[in-house]
Amino acid sequence: MQLKKLNRTKIIATVLAMIFLFVGGVFAFNQHVSHVLNQKDIVKIKTNNESTVLFYRDDCGSCRSIFYYTVMKRDLLRKNIQLVNTNQPKNRHYISEYKLTEVPTFIHLKYGKIAERYSGTNIEKIDQVIKGD
């Protein structure tokens, strides 16, 4: 009887610890994504390889809706995604350079050439652009 109580206590403690770690990890990731979203770094787009560029604005609701997914792809799945906040005045030259008409816009580059483009929040289409299909 005593052994069953001890095992039950260990199981409950383990489950609670796992929930605590998971919630803490989710909170930390959300903080990281929020920090990245609000950065207004001056970006020099790398064109010497294959990558995807996400053009966004930190005050755009549609951009926010796909930003967590995009950062997860970049950070956790090691996809080569460059993030360009067009609210940074020194990044605005990309608007005319890449003929941007709306955000979010994903552009897949292959050695400096535009291979594919998508503006919107459809996850399947975003995945196609990130993969370069």
pLDDT for 109 beyond 70: yes
Q: Is residue 52 part of a domain?
A: yes
CA 93 to chain centre: 22
pLDDT for 26 beyond 60: no
Q: Is residue 111 part of a domain?
A: yes
* Number of alpha carbons in the 13 Å side-chain half-sphere of residue 118: 18
Predicted local confidence at residue 86, as pLDDT? 96
The domain total for the chain is 1
pTM: 0.72
Strands (E), 1-133: 50-56, 81-85, 105-110, 113-119
Residue 47 — pLDDT band, cuts 50, 70, 90?
A: confident
What whole-number distance in Å separates Cα of residue 87 and Cα of residue 18? Answer: 39
What whole-number distance in Å separates Cα of residue 84 and Cα of residue 71? Answer: 12
Q: Is residue 14 part of a domain?
A: no
| Chain segment 7-19, per-residue pLDDT in tens | 777 777 777 777 7
Domain of 50, in residue numbers: 39-131
CATH number, domain at 113? Answer: 3.40.30.10
**Shortest CA distance to 45 belongs to which of 101, 100, 123?**
100
